[in-house]
Structure 1
Amino acid sequence: MSALQIAMAAGETSGDLLAGAVIRQLSMRLPPDSRYFGIGGAQMRAAGFQARFPSEKLAVRGYVEAARHLPEILWLRRAFKRTLRAAPPSVFVGVDAPDFNLGLECALRRAGIPTVHFISPSIWAWRGARIHKIKRATDLMLCVFPFETEIYARAGIVHRYVGHPLADLIPFKPDPMAARRTLGLPESRPAIVAVLPGSRNSEIARIAPVFFAAMARMHERGRRLRFVMPAASPAIRGALQRLAGRYPQLPLSLIDGHSHRALEACDAALVASGTATLEAALYKKPMVISYQVPWLTAQIMKRQGYLPYIGLPNILAGRFIVPELLQRSATPNALADALFDQLDNDANRRALNEIFTQLHHTLKRGAAARAADAIAEVIHAARHRR
């Protein structure tokens, strides 16, 4: 019998991290000569993945940004689709990146290739009509939030709740002092603020300047603070260093990667909306969530949105438990004020710790192992049908 061929496509840093963990689990369940290949990043390559294209190609968010990169993305999808149709894999696993993966999954499934999608698109927050495309695209949807299962059950889509991989990776009880030692930060005073402006070039261009101005406002008010800012890649670090050069007075540690250590070490965080807000919640940290997109993107998202919040901690709680300052509301002064409140409000800190601990228990399910079990079942079922 020929070796199993597991094709995957993961977008950006978070998808690469999730897919890498799944590959490691699959390698313990599938024959040792199984081959993993497709679109991926460093974490997937470290797990034995053959990346024919880098995952950074898919790291685009928003309508305006996507339109700018659309020709390259469409070329990449066509080229990858031709490759998979010419030599059909045992399964295709699309990891996040729904705008790229769902269309690809539709074509592959029509060609008889089993498809699995890992991490449901946020159809509960916006673009709910996408459920119809999902039904055409995937043989199995792997859900990371428990409330998603009801949505897929109503639509008649085969699904499984596996929990969230980050809940398995992040400890229930953070160790801020150990994290500070690792990063070379002071273990007691001053208070430490983690600042995470995003992992995409477009996010850095739009969000990071405002975040730097907010840090400057906080520093100007005479409060003893230390800021720590992780850079997701060398290119991102270069952009952040150029911004930091405008604020030589800031007590700022710019670090390569280590976003989890930065969150574990901090007393509060300023975070661009996205997966990092869930990471901050799992580290039980008070935070301020912010985001900025081009005006047209914001208008389209506003019309298609269903919830009054965009941050994952608020979505999962079903109410505003941490502040969100978006678009024009995200001024340097407003961000600074909100962060000072998160730093100084001890009652709020205790309440958030309780909420985030319960959330952590709900999401910790051994997600990578459960996802690997489900993918292996799809592969074996398809082989028996042939």
Structure 2
Amino acid sequence: MSVALVAGEPSGDVLAARLLSGLRPHLPEARFHGIGGPAMMEHGFESHWPMDKLTVRGLLAVIPRYREIKGIQNQLRDRLIAERPSCFIGADYPGFNLGLEMQLKDAGIPTVHYIGPQIWAWRGGRIKKIIKAVSHMLVVFPFEEEIYRKAGVPVSYVGHPLAEMIPLLPDEGAARRALGLPEDANVVTIMPGSRMSEIKYNTAAFVGAARLLLKRDRSLRFVAPMAGEKQRQLFLQIVAQAGLQDVEIQLLDGQSHTAIAAGDAVLVASGTASLEVALFKKPMVIAYKMMAAEWQILRHFGYQPWIGLPNILSRDFVVPELLQDAASPENLAEALWRQLADAPHRLQLAERFTAMHHSLLRNSAQESAAAVMKVIGK
């Protein structure tokens, strides 16, 4: 038996690895193959192409890479149709995976998509393609089940893997000791993003905000986790170009969860990282900047007043969101100062985020594996 999977970026690699950890005990002799990263390979996964061949951020950035990526998709499609795996699982990355899933499903190969594209936030018309492409959808937010069920797409809510990875009661003191920070320090965690484009557009504003905060409180300590050496070098380059070298920031090799746990407040780029901050029960400011042309395209597409996952799940602006021009150093610093200084607000946030954590907590490996086993008839 073989099961094919595709993850196109690090978050999908982690997601698929969690699923594989649940599937492997049920299918100990199965071959798992396709395209994936190091987390999937720890479970015996065979990747036919390096995952970074697919990793592209942004609408405009994909254009020069389109022919190469489309070529990989076509080659993988032909290989899978010839080999007839028991099912195909697309781990997020919908731009690539939904198109591939549609062709495989037409060829009689069952398809699973994990996780559901955010059609409740934008591009709701995608549901028509999903109906044609997906045999079974795995979703990570409770409210998504009804959306797909109403559309006639078989669906299972499997919980969010991050809710299992992050403790309900994080140990701030242990995190600070691990990073060599005084336990009584005032710590701000800076997370401009893991992708190079995010670092390119967010860094100067984020570090500029840190400089302004230091003018209010010289005792503040700043930590910033870096996803890799390339990200670290670009971060340092942008800081130097902006003349912000005087801002002392402790750069970390990975350790994003330790950095969040250690912080009193977090300045975070919009995305999954904002949900991680919420699960650590931390006050935050969500911000995002991008290429101006891309912003002009995307700013009209959203269906909701929120872009940050903590706010979307709360159906309220429980934490500030500052986007594009609004994400100036001055605005970010002011918003962060309020998060640091308002003690009652911090307690209220912790309560809301604890309830959110419980709502997302399932054994996602077992739940997702059980859904896949039903799809393949076992």
Counterpart contact for 1:13–1:199, Cα < 8 Å: no
Contact 1:59 1:200 in 2 (8 A): no
The yes-or-no answer on 1:274 pairing with 2:271 is yes
Segment drifting more, 72-81 vs 251-260:
72-81
Query: Any idea what SS the aligned residue of 2:61 has?
Result: helix
Is 1:234 equivalent to 2:224 in the alignment?
A: no
8 Å Cα contact 1:64-1:294 kept in structure 2: no
* Alignment partner of 1:34 is 2:30: yes
Moved more, 211-220 or 350-359: 211-220
Deviations along 1:312-343, one digit per CA (max 9) or x if unpaired, are 00000011110000010000111111111111
Task: Report which stretch shifted further, 39-48 or 162-171.
Answer: 39-48
Report the counterpart of residue 146 of structure 1 in structure 2: 142
**Partner Cα separation in structure 2 for residue 357 and residue 92 of structure 1:** 35
Distance 1:185 1:65 in 2: 39
Q: Distance in 2 between matches of 1:52 and 1:180?
A: 41
Indicate conservation of the 8 Å contact 2:137/2:153, yes or no: yes
Pairing partner for 1:346 from 329, 343, 346: 343
Q: Matched residue of 2:60: which SS?
A: helix
Task: Say which of 347, 356, 361 aligns to 1:359.
Answer: 356
Give the 4+ runs in structure 1 shifted more than 4 A.
none
Q: What is the aligned residue count? A: 376
1:196 to 166, 191, 194: 191
Distance across 1 between alignment mates of 2:49 and 2:221: 38
* C-alpha distance in structure 2 between counterparts of 1:182 and 1:101, whole Å: 39
CA offset at residue 222 of structure 1?
Answer: 4.0
Contact 1:18/1:368 (8 A) holds in 2: no
3-state SS of paired residue (1:122): coil
The answer for the alignment partner of 1:252 in structure 2 is: 249
Measure how far apart 1:68 and its partner are.
Answer: 3.5
- 1:155 maps to which of 151, 156, 161: 151
85, 94, 98: which one pairs with 1:98? 94
Q: Provide the residue aligned with 1:384 in structure 2.
A: none
Match runs of 1:146-225 below 5 Å: 146-189=142-185, 191-225=186-220
134-143 or 287-296: bigger deviation: 287-296
Distance 1:76-1:25 versus aligned 2 partners, 3 A rule: same
Partner of 1:302: 299
Cα contact 1:126–1:301 (8 A) shared by 2: no
Secondary structure, counterpart of 2:16 in structure 1: helix
- SS in structure 2 of the partner of residue 64 of structure 1: coil
SS in 2 for 1:86: helix
Equivalent residue number for residue 333 of structure 1: 330
Contact 2:94/2:117 (8 A) holds in 1: yes
The whole-number CA distance in structure 1 between the counterparts of 2:237 and 2:292 is 25
Does the residue aligned with 1:63 lie in a helix, a strand or coil? coil
Taking the aligned partners of 1:8 and 1:364, their CA distance within structure 2 comes to: 24
* Letter paired with 1:218: L
Q: Give the residue type in structure 1 aligned to 2:377.
A: H
In the alignment, the residues of structure 2 paired with residue 270 and residue 243 of structure 1 have an alpha-carbon distance, to the nearest angstrom, of 17
* CA distance in structure 2 between the aligned counterparts of 1:274 and 1:289, rounded to whole angstroms: 9
Cα displacement (A) at 1:278: 0.4
- SS for the counterpart of 1:280 is helix
SS at match of 1:135: helix
Cα distance between partner residues in 1 of 2:151 and 2:189: 40
C-alpha separation in 2, matches of 1:202 and 1:53: 23
Deviation at 1:205, TM superposition (A): 1.1
* Corresponding residue SS for 2:246: coil
Displacement of 1:244 after TM fit?
4.4
Q: TM-score, normalised by structure 2?
A: 0.96
Partner SS state of residue 325, structure 1: strand
- State the Cα distance separating 1:16 from its structure 2 match: 1.1
Q: Percent identity?
A: 48
Query: Aligned pair 1:136/2:126, yes or no?
Result: no
Give yes or no for the alignment of 1:290 onto 2:305: no
> Per-residue CA shift, 1:236-287, capped at 9, x if unaligned?
1221232344533223111111111111111110110000000000000100
Give the AA of the match of 1:43.
A
**Offset, 1:51:** 2.0
CA distance in 2, matches of 1:65, 1:185: 39
Aligned match for 1:323, one of 314, 320, 323:
320
1:271-306 C-alpha deviation (Å, 9 max, x unpaired): 100000000000001000011122332233222210
Confirm or deny: 8 A CA contact 1:65 1:202 kept in the other structure. no
The answer to whether the aligner puts 1:10 opposite 2:7 as a matched pair is: yes
One-letter amino acid of the counterpart of residue 343, structure 1: L
* AA partner of residue 51 (structure 1): S
Q: Where does structure 2 lack aligned partners over 5 or more consecutive residues?
A: none
Pair 1:165–1:343, CA change in 2 (3 A): same
Q: Report the counterpart of residue 117 of structure 2 in structure 1.
A: 121
**What SS does structure 1 have at the residue aligned with 2:377?**
helix
* Partner secondary structure for residue 341 of structure 1: helix
